[in-house]
A and B are shown apart, each in its own frame.
Chain A
Amino acid sequence: MPTIDVDLAELEQLLDVQFGGDMEKLDEVLAYVKAEVKARNEKEGSVSIEMKDTNRPDLWSVEGLTRALQGYLNQRKGIKPYVCGKPIVDVNVNADLWNIRPFICCSVVKNIHLQDSTIKGIMHLQDKLDQTHGRNRQKTSIGIYNFDLIKPPVRYTAVEPAEVRFVPLGFEEQMGLDEILERHPKGVEYASIVKKNPLYPMLFDSEGKVLSFPPIINSNDLGKITEESRNLLVEVTGTQHQTVLNTLNLVTLALVDRGGEAYAARVHYPKTPNYAERTVVTPDFGNKRFQLSVSETNRLLGLNLSAEKIVDLLLVAGLEAESAVGDSVTVLVPCYRVDVMHQVDIIEDVAIAYGYNSIEPLWRELPTTGHAKPEQRLIDVARELMVGLGYQETLNTTLTNQENLFQKMNMPLKRTIEVSNPKVATMTCLRNWLLPSLMEFLAANTSVEFPQKIFELGKVTLPDETSETRSKDEDWLCAATTHANANFSEIKSALDFFLGNMGVKWQIKETNHPSFIEGRVGSVIVDGVEVGVVGEVNPLVLLAWKLENPVAAFELNFHTITINKSPK
């Protein structure tokens, strides 16, 4: 979830509310926009605010947050108006970009007076937009330049990596594009986005000066913003036009909120395999229109609101009604509310404006019959029996690793369900049997009083090519006893009690199993099918787990032995 750092005094000033250090009061206000205080830095006078709604980038700056809250605080109703001047810059797009990074949207913001803190705020927003909304610059990335240093028109093109050299932001010497990808921190971070293609996107002005190497890095000459910068060029490139445009709108509005004046740009696209030649004017501060049904609103909220009341609540929520005819309200949604996709999004805003805590909760007694999953009854019976035998139930993770499952168990490798992106080396695959979990448990308790008797009835996951997910989960049962005299007869006796009480007729057959001692291990056979193993654990295995007492254990495919006993 995105988190933004906001200067508390600035927020209080913009909202015209004094919280007096009461973060719960701030939380109450933030709840309207699904945000909450995550941390407070009293020394710097700032708060970290977490946005639960990942689809509301309009909230990721102090200005945006203020804009959204003002309606709920009764300070300004409806949509905040923004104006954009006529196009004053042209952008020419090269056809080669069509399958690389085809879209660009631009604006110019004039007469802005930046302070260090506002530059920080803008950079913060840019960063959040790049990361979350722009999917780590894959989908969109933002560039801001000193417009006074640029000679339009701007050229957005694709180049051979060896063609261009420039000084990237934060460096002093010229570098080649591949050198930037190898040496510049941003180059290293985002190289994978451009390396997919033989040509790299580049942005030049009419004199051939480099603006930036999107989405990697700006030029140090044109792309550096200081407190002295008065006129800015804002540019967003990306792979999806609507998202690129939304992002440009959001950044431009944030600069307008800082006192700048927005001017448009004309973007000229050539003919490409998927589009005709065209010119697009950006940014676009126009409202979107959605039809809201009064009856649908009341149906979804369980309320009986009139169209007038709904119109009032829309204003509180920072939206506006253009017209209301019969059941239908035409709702204007401002350009910065990129999250609105369906009338349900507007209905929720109506409900929030109405107040969740003003709505009477209702619990309906529906004619339904509850029941646990069919296998649960026998799982519970089995757990009771094991507890009755004096075994402590354990709960272990199903994520483990091959060393635990095979090497430490003296077992040959088998195919397991592995993850391709493990976070830690100890959790790389799902377990395919339970005894390693219990051995790990015992290994963690060598200094605890003996005897130790433990069990787990839990899931193992096995490859299964016939299944939809290429795997199957089964409930298995494993029990282990360890103390100075733990042996085969003790565990066989427990197994006999268990299976006898489960109503399972079973036989034992001599077998060889690398995890157990030869001659002290047997297969458990039910209806002619091998369903488990019982025996004394091989000293090689004990040593691998650094255990000094003998361990006797059984493991059963609980699923198989109970499958015909569970009610369907």
Chain B
Amino acid sequence: MVELRAQEQQVLSIIEKSGGTLSVEQLISDLGLSDAAVMRSALTLQEKNLLKIHATTRNIIKLTEEGKTYAKDALPERKLISALAKIGGTANLREIAVRAQLQPQFVQIALGWVIRKKWAIYNPKDNMLTMLNAQVAEGSDEMLLKQLAEGEQTALDDLNEPLKQAAEQLKKRKLATIEPKTSRILQITQQGKKAALEATMAPVEVTQLTPELIITGKWQNVKLQKYNIQAPVAKTFGGKKHPYLQFLDEVRAKLVQLGFEEMTGTQVETAFFNFDALYVPQDHPAREPSDIYYIKEPEFGDVPDEQTLSQVKQTHENGWVTGSTGWGYQYQLQAAKRLILRGHGTCLSARTLQAHTYRVPSKHFSIARVYRPEITDKTHLSEFNQVEGIIIDKTLNLKDLLGVLGKFAMEIAGADKVRFKPDYFPFTEPSVELSAYKEGYGWIEFGGSGIFRPEVTLPLGVVEPVIAWGLGVDRLFMMRAGLEDIRMIFSQDLQWLRSKQVT
């Protein structure tokens, strides 16, 4: 048995019921379907040899606007002759025209046709018109005009000879147009007849399984239509976590697993914790307005207790008891109080040390939003996240420094091998840069670390060695996500977020 869709079956059975042939136009109006839908079914049925599509081109006659007016009011020559008949069969043309209520410009046209149709004779000498017969029968042009006005579509080819001539005449008079139009006739084949018969006996095909079908048990008596499962469907966009935040979640989980506890703090920070406590001198270029955002108002915040402040001040000026020469300048309290947007996450480590709430040993990390007055481009953001932290213990040395970075490279970056280089941070000595190598990615600078200078720890009252470390998570993320442009981290491209693979 031939498999038919519900619509194809419907088409086939209607054609069969209408005696085997039906025009597409008819089908459209019977089924209330679109032209495209009917043709789609028809073409499928033809492919299956169930019907034949005959395309015929016919010349369709249609009235023009003028033609429609005459169909309603009668042709001007008819108006003229009717008026003449009423007067008595012979009269002066001017009088007839008045009677007929003809516009002056139509009088000559009407006269011309009256003469041409041999309804009357005209004597130009006395302007007299005389009917040839008492009655003038309806002409074939008038009949056609009426037929067309009734709205039936009329093809030239279907008319008898006089009407055909009338049609040509109306066309000449610009009362009608004749234009070719292709129409399709569907004719059922023998096979089609069989299929239509089978279909009427086959179970009803159902597209959507409804609660009603399920509850009533009717679903057992219907045929659930087979779908074209290859057909494309509308797209669905589920909610997802942001890929970069998800990556930071992973980093956080790793660090927690490695025994680190999270530090937090405010985005607005005092220069004291962002710089001074980290032994960055007050005239350092990193404190220039080109390198750090300053808060407009209020300009100043609070700095910690007198003792800490005094120790930091003396360390900057002359090294205090740290064994350092210090920077040798005059420390300004106001500069320490200046409010800024934090430029790195290390201020959180300074706060943790200054607060003295830590145990020994302890490990801390932060994922901090930090700010720099950069023009954003492919490699720079004015706002980004830093992952960094500290380790405090009685005995920590350069070996631990390398070990910590090595561990991060393996655990977080999944590195195959690492290498170390000397590095520089104003607040650590010695300082190390770590490059991690991962198959397929190559070498990336993944992190830096160092041991806080005594000029940092001692003024904050910390006697234990403290390892400070930071990770280049943005570069790692970009590498994993296949990004070349760091701005994609804050991308507002919804399409990218929707299509970004989550693995």
Residue positions of A touching B, CB distance < 8 A: 31-34, 52-55, 132, 135, 138-139, 240, 242-243, 299-303, 341-345, 347-348, 351-352, 356-357, 359-364, 366-373, 376, 380, 383, 386-399, 417-424, 427, 430, 440-441, 444-445, 448-449, 452-455, 459, 461, 467-473
Contact assessment for A393 and B237 in the assembled complex, using a CB-CB cutoff below 8 Å: no
> How far apart are the CA atoms of A33 and B362 in the complex, in Å?
32
Tally of contact residues, B, Cβ under 8 A: 99
CB<8 Å pairs between A and B, sample of 20: A54-B284, A300-B465, A301-B430, A343-B323, A364-B393, A368-B260, A368-B362, A392-B240, A395-B244, A395-B489, A397-B382, A427-B383, A449-B235, A455-B239, A461-B267, A469-B266, A469-B302, A469-B339, A471-B266, A473-B267
Check if B74 is an interface residue, CB within 8 A of chain A. no
Contact assessment for B293 and A419 in the assembled complex, using a CB-CB cutoff below 8 Å: yes
Interface centre among B239, B397, B420, by most chain A C-beta atoms within 10 angstroms, is: B239
Chain B 328-362 interface residues, beta-carbon cutoff 8 Å to A = 328-329, 339, 341, 359, 361-362
Contact of A300 among B240, B244, B359, B451 (CB under 8 A): B451
Residues of chain A within 8 A of B399, CB atoms compared: 301-302, 359-362
> Chain A interface: which of B17-25, B36-44, B192-200, B368-376?
B368-376
Contact assessment for A356 and B421 in the assembled complex, using a CB-CB cutoff below 8 Å: yes
Known: A139-B283, A387-B240. A468 touches B301 (CB 8 A): yes
> How far apart are the CA atoms of A564 and B40 in the complex, in Å?
64
Residue positions of B touching A, CB distance < 8 A: 235, 237-242, 244-245, 249, 252, 255-264, 266-270, 283-285, 289-290, 293-299, 301-302, 319, 322-329, 339, 341, 359, 361-363, 369, 371, 373-375, 382-383, 391, 393, 395, 397-400, 402-407, 419-424, 426, 429-432, 451, 453-455, 465, 489-490, 492-495, 497-498
Contact of B492 among A33, A366, A445, A469 (CB under 8 A): A445
A394, closest chain B residue (CB): B242
Contact of B407 among A363, A396, A473 (CB under 8 A): A363
Known: A396-B492, A397-B490. A421 touches B289 (CB 8 A): yes
Contact assessment for B259 and A448 in the assembled complex, using a CB-CB cutoff below 8 Å: no
Known: A302-B397, A363-B404, A372-B252. A393 touches B242 (CB 8 A): yes
> How far apart are the CA atoms of A445 and B492 in the complex, in Å?
8
A358, closest chain B residue (CB): B420
Residues of chain B within 8 A of A418, CB atoms compared: 295-297
> How far apart are the CA atoms of A52 and B400 in the complex, in Å?
23
> How far apart are the CA atoms of A145 and B398 in the complex, in Å?
48
A138, closest chain B residue (CB): B283
Contact assessment for A468 and B270 in the assembled complex, using a CB-CB cutoff below 8 Å: yes
Residues of chain B within 8 A of A54, CB atoms compared: 284-285, 424, 426
Contact assessment for B369 and A459 in the assembled complex, using a CB-CB cutoff below 8 Å: yes
Known: A397-B383, A422-B373, A444-B492. A373 touches B262 (CB 8 A): yes
Contact assessment for B329 and A240 in the assembled complex, using a CB-CB cutoff below 8 Å: yes
Query: B7 CB to closest chain A CB, in angstroms?
Result: 29
Residues of chain B within 8 A of A423, CB atoms compared: 373-375, 382
Interface centre among A31, A139, A362, A390, by most chain B C-beta atoms within 10 angstroms, is: A362
Known: A32-B422, A348-B431. A135 touches B285 (CB 8 A): yes
Contact of A341 among B319, B395, B403 (CB under 8 A): B319
Known: A242-B328, A468-B270. A345 touches B419 (CB 8 A): no
Contact of A470 among B301, B421, B465 (CB under 8 A): B301
8 shortest interchain CB distances as A-B pairs? A302-B397, A361-B402, A302-B399, A348-B430, A370-B256, A53-B424, A363-B403, A362-B399
Interface centre among B284, B295, B453, by most chain A C-beta atoms within 10 angstroms, is: B295
B385, closest chain A residue (CB): A395
Contact of B398 among A132, A359, A419, A472 (CB under 8 A): A359
A372, closest chain B residue (CB): B262
Query: B75 CB to closest chain A CB, in angstroms?
Result: 55
> How far apart are the CA atoms of A53 and B329 in the complex, in Å?
20
Query: B292 CB to closest chain A CB, in angstroms?
Result: 8
> How far apart are the CA atoms of A389 and B240 in the complex, in Å?
10
> How far apart are the CA atoms of A389 and B391 in the complex, in Å?
40
Residues of chain A within 8 A of B269, CB atoms compared: 469
A300, closest chain B residue (CB): B397
Known: A139-B283, A418-B297. A34 touches B328 (CB 8 A): no
A440, closest chain B residue (CB): B492
> How far apart are the CA atoms of A53 and B498 in the complex, in Å?
43
Residues of chain A within 8 A of B289, CB atoms compared: 420-421
Contact assessment for B270 and A469 in the assembled complex, using a CB-CB cutoff below 8 Å: yes
Contact assessment for B420 and A356 in the assembled complex, using a CB-CB cutoff below 8 Å: yes
> How far apart are the CA atoms of A240 and B317 in the complex, in Å?
12
Contact assessment for B239 and A453 in the assembled complex, using a CB-CB cutoff below 8 Å: yes
> How far apart are the CA atoms of A139 and B282 in the complex, in Å?
12
> How far apart are the CA atoms of A107 and B120 in the complex, in Å?
134
Contact of A420 among B296, B324, B493 (CB under 8 A): B296
Known: A31-B421, A363-B404, A368-B363. A421 touches B373 (CB 8 A): yes
Query: B397 CB to closest chain A CB, in angstroms?
Result: 3
Contact assessment for A369 and B259 in the assembled complex, using a CB-CB cutoff below 8 Å: yes
Query: A37 CB to closest chain B CB, in angstroms?
Result: 13
Residues of chain A within 8 A of B374, CB atoms compared: 423
> How far apart are the CA atoms of A258 and B245 in the complex, in Å?
55
Residues of chain B within 8 A of A383, CB atoms compared: 241, 245
Contact assessment for B403 and A441 in the assembled complex, using a CB-CB cutoff below 8 Å: no
Known: A301-B398, A370-B258. A341 touches B252 (CB 8 A): no
B372, closest chain A residue (CB): A423
Query: B341 CB to closest chain A CB, in angstroms?
Result: 6
Residues of chain A within 8 A of B419, CB atoms compared: 357
Residues of chain A within 8 A of B237, CB atoms compared: 390, 392, 449
Contact of B295 among A135, A344, A352, A420 (CB under 8 A): A420
Contact of A417 among B264, B268, B284, B361 (CB under 8 A): B268
Contact of B259 among A348, A370, A417, A444 (CB under 8 A): A370
Given contact pairs A356-B420, A368-B361, A373-B264, enumerate 7 new A-B contacts (beta carbons under 8 Å): A135-B285, A356-B421, A366-B362, A389-B239, A423-B382, A449-B235, A459-B369
Contact assessment for B257 and A394 in the assembled complex, using a CB-CB cutoff below 8 Å: no
Residues of chain B within 8 A of A455, CB atoms compared: 239
Residues of chain B within 8 A of A343, CB atoms compared: 323
Residues of chain A within 8 A of B382, CB atoms compared: 397, 399, 423-424, 427
Query: B56 CB to closest chain A CB, in angstroms?
Result: 44
Residues of chain A within 8 A of B284, CB atoms compared: 54
Contact assessment for B429 and A344 in the assembled complex, using a CB-CB cutoff below 8 Å: yes
B341, closest chain A residue (CB): A419
Contact assessment for B322 and A342 in the assembled complex, using a CB-CB cutoff below 8 Å: yes
B253, closest chain A residue (CB): A372
Residues of chain A within 8 A of B301, CB atoms compared: 467-470
Contact assessment for B422 and A469 in the assembled complex, using a CB-CB cutoff below 8 Å: no
> How far apart are the CA atoms of A472 and B451 in the complex, in Å?
31
B289, closest chain A residue (CB): A421
Interface centre among A299, A303, A399, by most chain B C-beta atoms within 10 angstroms, is: A399
Contact assessment for A386 and B239 in the assembled complex, using a CB-CB cutoff below 8 Å: yes
> How far apart are the CA atoms of A461 and B339 in the complex, in Å?
14
Contact assessment for B403 and A362 in the assembled complex, using a CB-CB cutoff below 8 Å: yes
Contact assessment for A394 and B497 in the assembled complex, using a CB-CB cutoff below 8 Å: yes
Contact assessment for B420 and A357 in the assembled complex, using a CB-CB cutoff below 8 Å: yes
Residues of chain A within 8 A of B422, CB atoms compared: 31-34, 348, 352, 356
Contact assessment for B391 and A366 in the assembled complex, using a CB-CB cutoff below 8 Å: yes
Contact assessment for A342 and B261 in the assembled complex, using a CB-CB cutoff below 8 Å: no
Residues of chain A within 8 A of B325, CB atoms compared: 341-342
Contact assessment for A441 and B262 in the assembled complex, using a CB-CB cutoff below 8 Å: no
> How far apart are the CA atoms of A317 and B328 in the complex, in Å?
25
Query: A309 CB to closest chain B CB, in angstroms?
Result: 15
Contact of A342 among B270, B398, B429 (CB under 8 A): B429
Residues of chain A within 8 A of B373, CB atoms compared: 419, 421-423
Query: B179 CB to closest chain A CB, in angstroms?
Result: 41
Contact assessment for A392 and B256 in the assembled complex, using a CB-CB cutoff below 8 Å: no
Query: B276 CB to closest chain A CB, in angstroms?
Result: 15
Contact assessment for B262 and A371 in the assembled complex, using a CB-CB cutoff below 8 Å: yes
Contact assessment for B398 and A398 in the assembled complex, using a CB-CB cutoff below 8 Å: no
